[in-house]
Amino acid sequence: MSVTPLLETKNLTIRFGGVTAVNNVNFTLREQELRCLIGPNGAGKSTFFKLLTGQLQPTEGHVHLRGKDISGAFPHQISRLGVGIKTQVPNVFDAMTVEENLWIAARQKHTPIFSSDLAEAIMTQLRLTGIAKREVGQLSHGQRQWVEIGTVLAGEPDLILLDEPAAGMTHDEVDRTAELILEINKKRALVVVEHDMQFIRKIAKTVTVLHQGAVLIEEDVHTALQDKRVQDVYLGKGLAV
Amino acid sequence: MPKIHGMTIALIGSAIAAVGVMIAPLFVDLFQIMQLTVFAAMAILALSLGFIWGYGGILCFGQTSFFGLGAYAYAVAAINFGDSTPAIVLAIIVPVIFAALLGYFIIYGGVSDVYLGVITLTVSLILLNLVNSTAGDVYKIGTARLGGFNGIPGVPTINMPGDSSYILSPEQAWILTGLALIAVYLGLRVLIASTFGRVIIAIRENETRAALLGYDPRIYKLLTFMIGGAVAGFAGALYVNWGAFVSPTIFALGLSAQIIIWVIIGGRGTLVGPIIGCLLVQWMVTEIGSQQTLDASFILGAVLIGFVLLVPKGIAPTVRDFVAARLSRSNSDTVIEDVKQ
């Protein structure tokens, strides 16, 4: 008897006019699994995430969350079912403070007082306490990414999608992000999109490679990165494969 | 998270303003009291747009629709019932229902922000033409004749609740209107400090993020729009009460534009700002109106351009930022946040 997977897509497809951005993707993720999703620019990674979170509606195919069909649902409905996403370009509340950003995120599920405590705990975990009262709009790109990750954590999702969490971060920040992801993974499932292969090697167990909207291979990280086809699609992109 | 400090300032300011409202009749003459009354009613209208635009991010070009509907609802109900208390209630309910219907189709229909402005503006013009063409005996609701472009004269003014024979004097009507302005201000302040208020600000800042965190932006926007309609309708009732008269010009383009000018000059994202902007502009228009050399609209246009170019944030936020900068230089930090709003 097979266990119901946390996330399962069946023949997931989206077309924009003549372009098929995501093509017949069958993707399965177990509870508490950590999966890395890689692929060259334009492979459809971010579009895939938008389909999972309801920001785009699939042309064909379905998304199942714990066996429940969520294709066609609104982003807020999917969020309430326990899916959180850090988008590629940070989506944060610029005119609000770091603390307020996290509080709003926590308040969706919790009482005001518990939300304050949760926001406090997450700021400690992400080392944001020092900038708690700063407006997010005034922060650096890296800090804004952390705030966004914080808002995702404050929503306490079972599945976290991270779209390029290490982009624009310093070497130390990248290391911390990797540690953090492994820490989060103790409780929650994650799908991480990233271009930084050293980062991928640090965190990944299984890697799914997307190319031109379709799954190229899905393998153990070492096998995947040494695969001839994967190297071919990345070739000339200047990435350390 | 409510700002305790900011709320304290608002409460103290409101208490002082309330005392000012009560004692004003001792110091100024009846004509000025009447003038202040209409200014205060208009300031409530300014608050309605200041709230939905400044906090909800909804630029409604037709806030006069709700103002006018509130005014007409009050007039018709007051004539029929001979009592102002249920009329005031209806002046809030009718615009709220209208805002709910209109807002539902706009917001749930996924109409973008710019078109929301166009649609609301058009709706106010449709109402203008609709009410304009109701002259004649056939157009009446109960005993109230709508009167078309002539409007409805002799609208019963506000009486004591429960005693329709006790009509408020102009001084009492002023105190009622002035205190109503303060009450609406404080009510909106509390609302903004609540979770609902925090969420609508979050949606204004980033609708995508709010949705991805599990908040449905549509219901929050619709409720914001309806609250704006309620406040504008209430302002309409107080406005009719001031002149005992209402005509279709209440829906006209000029007033729609003025409300936006009040909010721009006073400052978006504050509640004090729209009140200041409204009082300042109305006082200015009245002063200019009393002389014959310069046209009021011309001056108003020049002032607006001046503000957009030189004080783009508006009066209240500019003053706030200035005070905050001074405080943070002398003190250390933390105060900046609290001075807000």
pLDDT at A141 over 90: no
In eight-state DSSP terms, residue A145 is: H
Residues of A in contact with B337 (CB under 8 A): 97, 133
- Judged by CB atoms closer than 8 Å, whether chains meet at B214 and A151 is answered as no
Residues of A in contact with B269 (CB under 8 A): 95
A155 touching B (Cβ < 8 Å):
yes
Residues of A in contact with B202 (CB under 8 A): 93, 96, 104
Q: Report the distance separating Cα A212 and Cα A15, nearest Å.
A: 12
Q: Cα angle at B313 between B321 and B253, to 5 degrees?
A: 150
- DSSP, collapsed to helix, strand or coil, labels residue B196 as helix
B110 touching A (Cβ < 8 Å):
no
**How does pLDDT run across B287-306, given as a tens digit for each residue?**
887 777 778 788 888 888 99
Tokens of B289: 């109106």
Mean pLDDT of B111-121: 91
| Cα atoms in the Cβ-side hemisphere of radius 13 Å centred on B244 | 13
- DSSP, collapsed to helix, strand or coil, labels residue A148 as helix
Domain carrying residue A28 = 1-81+195-241
B219 touching A (Cβ < 8 Å):
no
Residue in chain B lying closest to A100 (CA): B1
What does the pLDDT read at residue B267?
Answer: 93
- Chain B (254-273) residues lying within 8 Å, Cβ to Cβ, of chain A: 269
**How does pLDDT run across B208-250, given as a tens digit for each residue?**
999 999 999 999 999 999 999 999 999 999 999 999 999 999 9
Mean pLDDT of B272-290: 90
Q: Which of A76, A93, A95 sits opposite B211 (nearest CB)?
A: A76
Which percentage of chain A shows pLDDT scores above 70? 96
ipTM of the complex: 0.92
Query: Could you write out the DSSP letters of every residue in B47-66?
Result: HHHHHHHHTT----TTHHHH
A172 occurs within a structural domain:
no
Higher-scoring residue by pLDDT: B179, B341: B179
C-alpha distance from B336 to closest chain A C-alpha (Å): 10
B93 touching A (Cβ < 8 Å):
no
B209 touching A (Cβ < 8 Å):
yes
Provide the residue ranges of all domains of chain B, joining segments of one domain with +. Answer: 6-310
- Judged by CB atoms closer than 8 Å, whether chains meet at B212 and A53 is answered as yes
**How does pLDDT run across B84-98, given as a tens digit for each residue?**
999 999 999 999 999
The pLDDT confidence band at residue B4, using thresholds 50, 70 and 90, is low
What does the pLDDT read at residue B62?
Answer: 92
What does the pLDDT read at residue B39?
Answer: 96
B18 touching A (Cβ < 8 Å):
no
CATH number of the domain residue A56 falls in? 3.40.50.300
What does the pLDDT read at residue B335?
Answer: 45
| Number of domains observed in the structure of chain A | 1
- Judged by CB atoms closer than 8 Å, whether chains meet at B214 and A155 is answered as yes
- Judged by CB atoms closer than 8 Å, whether chains meet at A107 and B195 is answered as yes
Which residue in A46, A53, A85, A107 has the most chain B C-beta atoms within 10 A of its own C-beta, making it the best mutation to test that interface? A107
Q: Which of A76, A87, A96 sits opposite B201 (nearest CB)?
A: A96
- Judged by CB atoms closer than 8 Å, whether chains meet at B205 and A79 is answered as no
The total of other beta-carbon atoms located within 10 Å of residue B34's CB is 16
Q: Cα angle at B322 between B320 and B324, to 5 degrees?
A: 65
What does the pLDDT read at residue B291?
Answer: 75
pLDDT at A42 over 80: yes
